Structure 1
Amino acid sequence: MHEVRDPQELRAIAHPVRLQLLDELFLGGPATATELAERLSQSPANCSWHLRQLARYGYVEEAGGGAGRRRPWRAIFRPRRWGAADDSAALAHAGSAVSELLLRRELDQLSDWRAARRAEPAAWRDNGFVNQAIGWLTADELAAVSAEIEAILLRYAGRAALPADRPEGARPIRFVAWGVPVPAAPQ
């Protein structure tokens, strides 16, 4: 797991177009700035600029072949983590902003799924899930739960960048998990 220590690395993804570009590359595979521009209703120049910003921090890379706007780009699968207790103020601020943006984006995706799920085949409709629970844990137990969930998610996450590893019939699935302490009640 890559520990992000540079606020600029986080700011590189803190833009809606860049997040859309990453989604397109992970879901659709390598593509040129022009192809991505068509999919996102953006200009090729804008997509090219954002792709270069993503490449600067290791989120995407050139896939080889082509030149200029005709060169294909691919997403790089590299799990990242941020939000350590010893983060600088700048990194903590960037981390909070990116986390908020990503969480809002995932909640929008969940709302979209819930609105459209009745149109899904029964197997997909019935196996999609949302779970919620409250448990009493120690800090060490919470760390263990986090590690278990991370291990489960990483088991499948690499397939986003490696289409050959995807089983027949597989679809992209969005996972979001959090475990946060409930604020203490006033005494």
Structure 2
Amino acid sequence: MAQQPGGTEIADLAALKALAQPRRQQILQHLALHGPATSAILARGLGLNTGATSYHLRELARYGFVEETQGNSPRRQRWWRAVPGDRRFLPRSRQTTEMRLVMDELNHHAYAADVELFERLQRESSTDDFAYSRSEIRLTDAELREFFEEYIALLNRYKRAKGETPAGARVVHTRLMAFPAPSPLPTPTPSAPETHAPEESS
């Protein structure tokens, strides 16, 4: 993964494939939300067996997405944590055909999981803990990149360690999707009225 001023680019296809596996996405999400865990803790939390979680953790560690850390148990167990950082995928224009296929699959699973979670939590909630916005703006490609960087900067302003958050604070999922509107359909050209040759009679 290459370090860039705006974050760490995942430019290696093998690393991208390792990250795109749905179970590994769940493991990373669990570690990000709940902190360090063993393969047994992850197995119980995700409904897997410890052999599967151990394998997925090793694959994630191979590409630097997780790492071993000090655990909370006196027993000798392997504890894992998600490696923090601003990871970014290559722009679509720089992705190979195979990368695009992997990215499409990753996005499909990620968005489906997000929508399912959003709908479930919304049904269960009766408080004002949901914020939703939908809009359209006109931007050049350069302005869209600037808009994205400003969003990331805003997000980072609110990122704090658990011990630094005020009473009543909770984890809130945030998502940003920005994509071009489809091109307008061409306006049909009015057809000229049909003309008929005069009938001939004999």
Q: TM-score, normalised by structure 1?
A: 0.84
Is residue 33 of structure 1 aligned with residue 39 of structure 2? yes
Tell me if structure 2 keeps the 8 A contact 1:7–1:95.
no
* 1:39–1:127 Cα change, 3 Å: closer
Shift of 1:92: 2.1
1 CA distance for matches of 2:167 and 2:111?
Answer: 30
* 1:64–1:167 Cα change, 3 Å: same
More contact order relative to length (CA 8 Å, sep ≥ 6): 1
2 CA distance for matches of 1:60 and 1:76?
Answer: 5
1 CA distance for matches of 2:177 and 2:58?
Answer: 31
Query: Partner residue of 1:121?
Result: none
State the SS of the aligned residue for 1:61: strand
**Structure 2 residue aligned with 1:45, among 45, 51, 71?**
51
Tell me if structure 1 keeps the 8 A contact 2:11–2:90.
no
Deviation digits for residues 139-159 of structure 1, max 9, x if unmatched? 3322222121122223345x4
**Structure 2 residue aligned with 1:21, among 27, 35, 47?**
27
Q: Which amino acid aligns with 1:186?
A: L
The total of aligned residue pairs comes to 178
Q: Which amino acid aligns with 2:33?
A: L
Task: In structure 2, list runs of 5 or more residues that go unmatched.
Answer: 1-6, 187-202
Whichever of the two has the greater Rg, that structure is: 2
2 CA distance for matches of 1:137 and 1:145?
Answer: 9
Is residue 103 of structure 1 aligned with residue 102 of structure 2? no
Identity rate of aligned residues, in percent? Answer: 31
Q: Which amino acid aligns with 1:76?
A: V
Query: Partner residue of 1:133?
Result: 135
Q: TM-score, normalised by structure 2?
A: 0.78
Query: Partner residue of 2:85?
Result: 78
Query: Which has the larger helix fraction?
Result: 1
Query: What's the Cα RMSD here?
Result: 2.3
Query: Partner residue of 1:94?
Result: 102
Query: Partner residue of 2:68?
Result: 62
Task: In structure 1, list runs of 5 or more residues that go unmatched.
Answer: 119-124
Deviation digits for residues 85-121 of structure 1, max 9, x if unmatched? 1222222222222122212221122112221122xxx
